[in-house]
Amino acid sequence: MLENRKILLCVSGGIAVYKAVALVSKLSQAGADVKVIMTESAREFVQPLAFQVMSRNDVYFDTFDEKDSSVIAHIDLADWADLILVAPATANVIGKLANGIADDMVTTTLLAATAPIWVAPAMNVHMYDHPAVKRNIDRLYGDGIRFIEPSEGFLACGYVGKGRLEEPEKITALVGEHFTAAPGPLTGKKVVVTAGPTRERIDPVRFLTNFSSGKMGYAMAQAAAELGAETILISGPVSLPVPAGVKRVMVESAKDMYDAVLAQYDNADIVVKTAAVADYRPKHIASSKVKKKDGESVLELERTDDILKTLGSMKQHQLLIGFAAETNDVDTYAKGKLEKKNVDYIIANDVSKAQRGFDADTNAVTVFGKDDFQQQFDLMPKPVLAKQLLELIVERENIHDR
């Protein structure tokens, strides 16, 4: 299953280190070539010799112990790996990786890596639930790192809950699926997705925004990644987790989103504009809180940049997909956008109808394309709909021939 695959296992300190020895055994039995790096804390639980015997490779733990003088060890290991596993991953090593800290052999190697990195946490249930740990995990998700969720059960500390390192057999199976899965139709393509609302500041405590939850955009990003694409998600302020395998860029205002999209546009193959971007912003942003006063008040607004129209005017090889959330005359407005903004597809929905508004978990849409193409999708969960939409467009456009 894993014949000739190169797996680098980074082991950090915790009682679950004993499972990492079994993991090396399982990976090796499946045909993988496994090399191991240990933190100093990990060596307090298990001696390097155990990993050396199981992997039949040298074990690394000292950044300055260069076993081969012709290479720099941590760079060579990072370049060597087809996949890097951090198992068990303590709160400490997760925090270091999330903040770019490189102070030992494991962390310096991880920062030098270009191969996919999978992190398998193992810690006390309360540590795993701590806001700082959650924040670090969310940041790593945004960097495109995949997590193997810990399982629930009796922990070494005596607690019962989520925090146990996933079983070696399960991790080995996931690695096998990663390498044996057929390439998706978007493999080798770069997809940029925008999602969520924008916020346009009035003063330091107030802003203009809309009801977008980001759910449809996040579903589109997840679907693109599942179909094999390198996926960049440019997101306004939402409280959604980053989909696995997706790199997220957080923005706030329409101007922030405009700049972030243009920075990715030249190298993008597909751009999916689901974000509900503000059409107007305050002309003047107060430097201090605007105090209430008697009588009416007028807020002067100015137009924001039309991101979709700008992308349409700059379009070269890119496939451009826009979304239209309407409350009436859906077909008319969608077809108008298709032409005026020079996009390839407009996906439109009526957000005034039940179960298909901004915060709903389901949606029903109509896809409009050039040459009078039109196809309707009935109400279904947003992740299911997102995958069907992308599969339809990939098939119609012969993406790999573009």
277 and 156 within one domain? no
How high does pLDDT run on average in the chain?
A: 91
238 and 108 within one domain? no
pLDDT of residue 6: 96
Residue 355 predicted with pLDDT over 90: no
Let me know if residue 136 belongs to a domain.
yes
pLDDT of residue 364: 93
Per mean pLDDT, which of 39-43, 125-129, 173-177 is the most reliable? 39-43
Q: Which residues are catalytic?
A: 157
Looking at 180, 198, 223, the residue that finishes a domain is 180
213 and 174 within one domain? no
Q: What is the CATH number of the domain that holds 162?
A: 3.40.50.1950
Residue linked to tokens 């760079």: 75
228 and 157 within one domain? no
Question: Helices (H) and strands (E) in the chain — how many of each?
Answer: 14, 20
Let me know if residue 185 belongs to a domain.
no
pLDDT of residue 174: 92
pLDDT of residue 255: 97
Q: What is the CATH number of the domain that holds 394?
A: 3.40.50.10300
Residue 266 CB coordination number (10 Å): 10
Expressed in angstroms, the distance from the first to the final Cα of the chain is 33
335 and 389 within one domain? yes
Contact 123, 147 (CB under 8 A): no
> pLDDT class for 181, splitting at 50, 70, 90?
confident
Q: With pLDDT > 70 as the criterion, what percentage of the chain qualifies?
A: 97
Q: Compute φ and ψ for 290, nearest 5 degrees.
A: -75, 125
340 and 195 within one domain? yes
354 and 274 within one domain? yes
pLDDT of residue 159: 56
Q: With pLDDT > 90 as the criterion, what percentage of the chain qualifies?
A: 70
Angle at CA of residue 239, ends 236 and 240, nearest 5°: 95
Q: What is the mean pLDDT of residues 128-156?
A: 83
pLDDT of residue 161: 61
3 state SS of 98: helix
Let me know if residue 252 belongs to a domain.
yes
Read off the pLDDT of residues 224-254 as tens digits, 9 standing for 90 and up.
Answer: 998 999 999 999 999 888 887 888 999 999 9
As a whole number of angstroms, the distance between CA 341 and CA 312 comes to: 5
pLDDT of residue 158: 61
Least confident of 21-25, 38-42, 60-64, 150-154: 150-154
Please give the residue range of the domain that contains residue 154. 6-180
- Calculate the alpha carbon distances from 247 to 34, 110, 156, 293, 357 in Å: 27, 17, 34, 45, 26
Contact 277, 307 (CB under 8 A): yes
More confidently predicted of 42 and 353: 42
Question: Based on the structure, what is the number of domains in the chain?
Answer: 2
208 and 129 within one domain? no
